[in-house]
Amino acid sequence: MKLADLTHARTDYNYAFLDEHAKREVRRALLKAVAVPGYQVPYASREVPMARGWGTGGLQVTLSIIGESSRLKVIDQGADDSVNAANLRRFVARMTGVQTTTDALEATVIQSRHRIPEEELQTGQVLVLQVPLPDPFSYVEPSRSLARELHADSDYALLWLRLYEDLTLHGEVLTGADHPVLVQGHYVMAPSPIPRYDLAALHQAHHLTLLSAGREKRLYAVPPYTDVLPLAFDDVPFQIERQQGWVCQQSGAQHGFMNEVPQEDGRSYVLSDTGYLEKLLRQKRGEPAIIGARRKSQQDQPGSAL
């Protein structure tokens, strides 16, 4: 073997931007995360050419697992064409040449902020969620060192107390998005700020979910077929967002998570998942569209037991 065989021409950037050492570190952390569902694994979290808090954690995971045969979908609030989603997709495509799609069924890797696609994801698909605050304690106990101890002791009293205080003061649990979930009966996890409606899509799912917080330098995972149950008291049922009676103005759909759009004379509603909406519209026009199975019913998801 010649020395020349072992070298390669200088390139401006490595495939998928991150150098191979950085990718290997992320992959090792991912393996650990999958092995210990819901546990936050620290990782170095390199700077990438995006601002922190703009999906750098999700991006590092995507860049570390993506390959030539991957198909990438990137969404923000459910929308493929939201400005930051467009930017992230453009960056990954530029650094890898990978094919992109807006179809949740076609994608092998879906990077998302704040939503899970409406169509049920399947075995082999990977959902990468961008996470702003990886620790469910951050709303009640900002010290990360102390939060780590509480996780180690499985001491989640503070989180339960927060729910209880909401109930006694307001008669309702007031967490909006990012409602804490119990993963496989052990770690309580921040599911990232997805609506409560989306939590059911993590429970006993076919797909793998990877969650990564670049700024906070933590990543964690929900492997397929894992229990993910929202924290809720036995006698106070967990509630998803109430959107009964809402009709999507564009597709006429009466299911799926919708955006409320203020109008001068009131409001209208439209599906938040634009890839799904696009397919419904195509079907409506009589064009071919393969629409995936709807996810498990959100209404009857059990809460976790105390």
Per CB under 8 A, residues contacting other proteins are 13-14, 17, 19, 22, 42-49, 51-54, 56, 76-79, 81-87, 89-90, 113-115, 132, 143-145, 170-178, 193-196, 215, 217-218, 239, 241-243, 257, 259-260, 272, 274
Min. distance of Cβ 117 from other proteins in angstroms?
Answer: 13
Distance CA 225, CA 243 (A): 28
Min. distance of Cβ 48 from other proteins in angstroms?
Answer: 6
With respect to other proteins, which residue has the nearer C-beta, 88 or 226? 88
Q: What are phi and psi of 304, to 5 degrees?
A: -80, 150
Distance CA 47, CA 31 (A): 22
Distance CA 265, CA 262 (A): 8
Q: Contact at 8 Å (CB) between 159 and 151? A: no
With respect to other proteins, which residue has the nearer C-beta, 218 or 226? 218
With respect to other proteins, which residue has the nearer C-beta, 132 or 180? 132
Distance CA 40, CA 1 (A): 44
With respect to other proteins, which residue has the nearer C-beta, 86 or 291? 86
Min. distance of Cβ 201 from other proteins in angstroms?
Answer: 14
Q: Is 10 exposed, middle or buried (0-12, 13-18, 19+ CB in 10 A)?
A: exposed
Min. distance of Cβ 225 from other proteins in angstroms?
Answer: 26
With respect to other proteins, which residue has the nearer C-beta, 71 or 144? 144
DSSP 129-159: EE-S---GGGGT---HHHHHHHHHTT--HHH
CA 230 from chain centre, in angstroms, equals 15
CA 271 from chain centre, in angstroms, equals 18
With respect to other proteins, which residue has the nearer C-beta, 193 or 223? 193
Min. distance of Cβ 163 from other proteins in angstroms?
Answer: 12
Min. distance of Cβ 44 from other proteins in angstroms?
Answer: 5
With respect to other proteins, which residue has the nearer C-beta, 144 or 296? 144
Tokens encoding 78:
């459910």
Distance CA 58, CA 54 (A): 9
CA angle, 223 then 224 then 227, to 5°: 85
Min. distance of Cβ 33 from other proteins in angstroms?
Answer: 14
- CA-wise closest residue to 191 among 182, 178, 208, 205: 178
Min. distance of Cβ 167 from other proteins in angstroms?
Answer: 10
Q: Contact at 8 Å (CB) between 200 and 120? A: no
With respect to other proteins, which residue has the nearer C-beta, 54 or 276? 54
